[in-house]
A and B are shown apart, each in its own frame.
Chain A
């Protein structure tokens, strides 16, 4: 080692490599509070009602389908031998997957110090909770006698039955319920400072009372912030392994079996990547219209969209790697059943499901390598929808194609969903969007306090720091 130490100089960053600010146009703290909080104040806009009414009607459809199914039996679904798992598990896995982006953004990206997460984490966390609610409906119904669902938990019952802990479905019960609980806690805890903002801005006693109750007496003191940040860090640390474990456990529903196409060792990380992929698809689908309608372009900037597109590209490529490995090892193993299964996926009677799966999940996201697509909101929105469509087909391909041609040729069958299957699925969209619309109507959909923390003026050492910015850039609205 003879090289002399280099002289210390700080190179000038070329203009094209400057990092854009996370809140555009040097918006002040006051502007951020006003902009976000005002969305939940005053009468609901017309577009909100236009979306809410059909969502609520779809929720009523869910109520009808579920009631009909419980009162009649699972025979109202299209599940027939050998396809005994079908839309119920497809939709369960799909909804659970969608929820993953919320926890990834709020927990993992927090630990990775990705500051851009602050603009999108609140809505993504809410999306997680509602998606898990939709997902939870399916296993609860699928057991058949829904009124005995409590037998899934290790609590004393009349027949002294004890859960079969060797079954992956039991692991699902614990994984999903723990995930839901921690997600709600994380979401609610993050809301507390913003609920205090809403309380302090409230003009009616009812709003003051309700926001006040849930704000838990938050005053914004140093002690409150100190405890809050510690709790946030702990919950992020707890949520991180949880989010990875949930979809890993969901993947074990399939991979611990001996079925060709299901029994494959790459399933746990592949499912996690797929879940994050579909979750980001849904986050983009929801936030692109919302930022436009509610003029949030200065908070959810093009930089945020760009980064989320890159996450979608990365996770889509991991999913593509997993698809390739499945095909490669099916060939490499020399196992004729594995080989047949994968050929059956690509060339069999459900080819119509396999083609959109590969196209939407692997090929379409590759467009995000090109900057033009990441900058074009219409293109991003369409691709994000295609991602969700593709991921639904992925679950359909794994489950239905995995089952419809089993080892006994005489029992091969072609699965078709019934109107109740379709109605239940449409109904879960009703549940999801009803909850989401109520959320954006009554709660701050952007984490106000966290977004303020990523503005330059929040740094007392920053040249633009302090109130100077607020004074120099007047708020237009």
Chain B
């Protein structure tokens, strides 16, 4: 074990009240914000909502690709991902209610004076008030169906370990990945891109997806560290989970940058006013500096920070990087949303309100997550691939063929029956 990674159990009893405290502080700030400036509150709420939506959708994606790839190493992280995904309904749907109520404040296209513009007329019937609610409800319905069924069959698998639930989950994941692409794209178009309804980009859904999965992987890394230190999933865990999560995060650092750069580069090269204005707005005032923060903070820092093979195992390096990913993802989403109410620059003066919305949601979702997590086994205890996740299945010894030499020999938390005898 790396000396930078302490192995002693950690005591979180003093943090028990934190979710409730965050909710209360957040609620107070939100009420004050709503009374002081309803429009500012609406946009702050939307930003916080899109932030946590990306986490829930990213977790749903991780669960589905686990089944589609028939992966082994992801078993210990699957259960908490299922719980996060399951918050899409009803909790994220409930958090959407303020957006639904304040939609006319948030989305300029809903304003009657814009209803006769070509850009709105061309998008009929999608850009009509009834369709906005119908499509939103449809998205939540699909997400509820997928997250609920996947968690249900995962818990069924805990009872028997039979193959049936595994096949069921594969079935839902197969159909789910198509529905995920469809609903994820339409949701981000309707809830985020439509803030600037004249603008269009075929890449936008992929762009939101790339950032979401990156941020979800960072969160998964943090949660894995905490659960491991609590001893809840240590028996099912091997060092390679940390390595693979870090490697995937590295891959998505590059993927996000690739997607964002491609979108920018093609629009810049085409130099057509109906497209470039989106970026022109974001090069004005302090938004230009925010753009620079995204280039360096969202790409270069994590890219260089994750480049070395060994750092993925060093918690003192990875934890700050994962926390950094939270900040960068929030800044990235604010770069998309906040230039609408604040074209002159980043809204530093309303950061307290952003914190309020964020604190309320993180408090609520944490409380729900902890309740759900405590009610069920901490990892899929009878998953047929658990043996691979634990590092006890090692059919291949050479690096060239993708195996790891002596995987089982240095197993830190191997169950007693598999532990190497002391020399």
Contacts and interface: CB of A to CB of B under 8 A. Distances in A.
A8 B415 contact: yes
A244 B234 CA distance: 37
A17 B270 contact: no
Interface in B242-275: 254, 258-259, 262-263, 265-267, 269-272, 274
A289 interface: no
B396 A458 contact: yes
Contacts of A257: 270
A241 B382 CA distance: 38
Given A256-B270, A459-B395, A14 B162 contact: yes
A189 to B, nearest CB: 11
Contact of B235 (A5, A13, A16): A5
A114 B418 CA distance: 26
B159 to A, nearest CB: 12
Interface in A77-120: 110, 113-115, 118
Interface string A14-33: 10110000000000000000
Interface residues of B, number: 73
A460 interface: yes
B383 interface: yes
Interface stretch (A144-152, A331-339, A381-389, A430-438): A331-339
A265 interface: yes
A1 B122 contact: no
Contacts of A328: 202
Interface string B384-410: 111100101011111111110000100
A2 B374 contact: yes
A256 B275 CA distance: 13
A9 B387 CA distance: 9
A11 B402 contact: no
A394 interface: no
A248 B262 contact: yes
B297 to A, nearest CB: 21
Q: How large is the interface on A (under 10, 10 to 19, 20 to 34, 35 or more residues)?
A: 35 or more
A9 B408 contact: no
B178 to A, nearest CB: 7
B399 A334 contact: no
A6 interface: yes
Contacts of A16: 163
A461 interface: yes
Contacts of B370: 1
B308 interface: no
A331 B202 contact: no
A326 interface: yes
A11 B386 contact: yes
Contacts of A459: 394-397, 403
B63 to A, nearest CB: 17
Contact of A114 (B200, B258, B402, B414): B402
A325 interface: yes
16 contacts: A1-B12, A6-B236, A17-B166, A118-B401, A229-B400, A232-B400, A252-B265, A255-B269, A264-B266, A265-B267, A332-B122, A332-B123, A333-B274, A334-B119, A450-B401, A453-B397
**In the complex, the 5 A-B pairs of residues with the closest C-beta atoms, listed nearest first:** A334-B122, A8-B415, A113-B402, A453-B401, A266-B202
